[in-house]
Structure 1
């Protein structure tokens, strides 16, 4: 065995261990999808306050918010709270073990805070449904659970403010307005402040609040139409495409677009060791070892701390990290295949002519209903846990337009370029030396999903990867899968921007 193979074997074992550790760590983290749905629920609640008489908006409002929006929001908040409670109890049990992951201890205060924040909002939803006694118990629970915890004291005070506002008779406490503005947002803040101003008989403040809320409600309707309308229309188009592909396969079989016989394998001039080498050296060694070590050394030498960066600087830091990873991976890829140049026809093709635009758009529409369907199943499996991409929450809460542009460059340009070259341009064709094309599409998609290091994302990303692989295998043009990948990430960022800006 050569020295290179010994090193590859050692790094492979290390890669399996570290990737497995990251996946296990993500198991105790909440799914980002649950949080995103909560933002959308809050947007629906804001839209319920709209009282305009525009016929167009009236019909849109009825279609978007449904007949019982508050009841639906309460159910969703209760489900998320149950999931968070289970996660808290699971984390507390794991922390009993002397070998517990230190990161679990750091996640405990976050889970406690999340539960308190959910209960504050649940109480407001309950009083709106004339469940005053239930709401009082909910807020009393917040006060009890946060007792003696300094970091949660503001939430405890807010629970006391809310309990006083809706008690019989009402009790007004000092600094009530400040507590509500600081610890509640969107519809919950509006409802609580409206109750406060009514009790204080501050008619002018109440009128100003109602006027501001009407503007917010109208914007919420518009944003809901964007967030819900565009994906819905796209899904219908995607379902039509899938039905066409299924019907074509039934009628034409071997001559259909889905038929394996219609997708020719690539001529692969290298063996599996080169594939192994590129994945371990180019992706794992660079991304999981060399880059973190270099950044750690930089932090120690200069005192640089990424956690203390502002929003725009943090977005630039994430982009720079990704560009370094991509540069290292592409260098390893080039060095690995350089001995086989010129490559056989069909490798790493980027052709401006052809139907790549249609393939990319069609693939995007077809992927939407498939990924949504598997995501619904995925949520039942993981029950709101399993972690997610750490960039997404940062982008959701982003308030700086410059930072959002940098996130867009990372997700919609840099990621599609690098990941499509590596996973579709290199890995998928290389695997066709050892298995049928559909097998190569499936295996490369699974590796692509695992590379994102989040358990809850494995199934949805694998389905997306299979659509990307099919589009590339049929079009033989990386531009098609790059376009699909970019559209997918751009759509996610658009939703994050709309939902995040609405909550602010």
Structure 2
């Protein structure tokens, strides 16, 4: 064994351990899907307040009722109670992990893990208290006693002043605390703030303030109906078209066989001048060692306090981190394959004149129903746990246009360029030296999913990666999977922005 292979072997062990620990750590983290459902519920609650100004808006009223469904408040209450139940279960798991660490050896890594768990537990307790406040407000219509009991439990457990304010508002007789409005505005948002302030202004007999609040809520509610229609209708149309396109491609494959569009270039391998050691070197050194080991150490040594970052600084940090991963990895790739220049025909092909737009758009439409179905199964499998890309929650809660633009550049430009160049441009064709094309697509898709380091994302991303691989092997043009990847990430960010705006 050469020194080079020995080093690669050691780095491989380090990479496997690091990836395994990251995947294990993601188990206790919530999925973004659970939060998305609550944000969509927040939009729905705003929409319940919208009333058309004249009877001529009957079509709008019908559309509103179709979007909201039957008994939207009860549906929202169930959604929040389910989220509360999930978070309480997660809290028990985290507390169990903490107890286990506390009885183990007193080492530096152990202490660091305990600190991280304590921070997670403290944050989750605050989230649970917020959920209790919201569940109580949802219980008020018809269940005022239950709502007051919910808030009393919160007050006794966490000494929440906001809970005491809500108890006073809906008690009989009511009791108004001196700092009631301040507590409501600081600790409640969206529809929940509106409901609490409406009750407060009504009890204070502040007619003008109440009228202004209702006018403002009507504007927000009308926008919420439109946003819900966008979030529900556009993806649904995409899914319908995607299913139709998928059926068309599969029927064509059955009828025309190897002459079909889906079979085009399906069995054609690349001429790969390097062996598996070069593939190994690029990923172990360029991607895992630099990205998962050196990069975190480098950023940990910098005098940075990410907790103090505003949204723009956070967005710039995410972009910088991604570039620090991509550039060294691409340099390792370049110097690894440089001895084989000039490369055989078909490698890293960019053809602006080809039909890459149709392949990219068609691939996106086909991926929509496939990934959605897998995601629904996946959510049941992991039961709301398994973690998510850290960019997604930040983008969901973002309100700054500059920060969102930077996130868009990262997710919709930088990520498709780098990841498609590496996984579809290099890895997939390289694997065809040892595997059939479909096998290379499957292996590259699985690795593409695993390196995102979140258990809950493996199945959906592997499905997306498989479609990306099909698009690339058939089109033989990297612009096609790059477009598909960019459309996917862009649509995700737009959906997050629309849903996140429901908390205003």
Pair in the same fold by TM > 0.5: yes
Using the TM superposition, give the Cα deviation of residue 493 of structure 1 relative to its aligned residue in structure 2, in angstroms. 0.8
Q: In the alignment, which residue of structure 2 is the partner of 1:33?
A: 33
Q: In the alignment, which residue of structure 2 is the partner of 1:388?
A: 388
RMSD over aligned Cα, in angstroms? Answer: 1.5
Q: Deviations over 1:47-72 (max 9, x none)?
A: 11001143443233122111221111
Q: Are 1:131 and 2:143 an aligned pair? A: yes
SS of residue paired to 2:269? coil
Q: Deviations over 1:296-315 (max 9, x none)?
A: 34x1xxx3434333221221
Q: In the alignment, which residue of structure 2 is the partner of 1:50?
A: 50
Distance 1:293 1:92, change over 3 A: closer
Determine the C-alpha separation between the residues in 1 that align with 2:296 and 2:265: 44
Q: Deviations over 1:138-183 (max 9, x none)?
A: 1122112214xxxxxxxx1111111222222222222111111111
Contact 1:349/1:476 (<8 A) preserved: yes
Determine the C-alpha separation between the residues in 2 that align with 1:311 and 1:74: 31
Using the TM superposition, give the Cα deviation of residue 260 of structure 1 relative to its aligned residue in structure 2, in angstroms. 9.0
Which residues of 2 match residues 349-364 of structure 1 at below 5 A?
349-364=349-364
The unaligned stretches of length 5 or more in structure 2 are 105-109
Q: In the alignment, which residue of structure 2 is the partner of 1:89?
A: 92
Which residues of 2 match residues 461-500 of structure 1 at below 5 A?
461-500=461-500
Where does structure 1 differ by over 6 angstroms across 4 or more consecutive aligned residues?
none
TM-score in terms of structure 2 length? 0.94
Q: In the alignment, which residue of structure 2 is the partner of 1:150?
A: none
Determine the C-alpha separation between the residues in 1 that align with 2:82 and 2:261: 42
Indicate the larger mover: 253-262 or 424-433. 253-262
Q: In the alignment, which residue of structure 1 is the partner of 2:66?
A: 63
Q: In the alignment, which residue of structure 2 is the partner of 1:347?
A: 347
Contact 1:416/1:482 (<8 A) preserved: yes
Q: In the alignment, which residue of structure 1 is the partner of 2:179?
A: 175
The unaligned stretches of length 5 or more in structure 1 are 148-155
Q: Are 1:184 and 2:188 an aligned pair? A: yes
TM-score in terms of structure 1 length? 0.94
Q: In the alignment, which residue of structure 2 is the partner of 1:114?
A: 127
Determine the C-alpha separation between the residues in 2 that align with 1:134 and 1:161: 16
Which residues of 2 match residues 5-404 of structure 1 at below 5 A?
5-52=5-52, 53=54, 54-98=57-101, 99=104, 101-102=113-114, 103-128=116-141, 130-147=142-159, 156-259=160-263, 262-297=266-301, 299=302, 303-404=303-404
Indicate the larger mover: 91-100 or 192-201. 91-100
Using the TM superposition, give the Cα deviation of residue 206 of structure 1 relative to its aligned residue in structure 2, in angstroms. 1.0
Determine the C-alpha separation between the residues in 1 that align with 2:230 and 2:30: 26
Q: Deviations over 1:291-346 (max 9, x none)?
A: 2233334x1xxx34343332212211211221121111110001111111111111
Between Structure 1 and Structure 2, how many residues are aligned?
A: 491
SS of residue paired to 1:262? coil
Indicate the larger mover: 138-147 or 5-14. 138-147
Using the TM superposition, give the Cα deviation of residue 258 of structure 1 relative to its aligned residue in structure 2, in angstroms. 4.2
Distance 1:94 1:260, change over 3 A: farther
Contact 1:360/1:480 (<8 A) preserved: yes
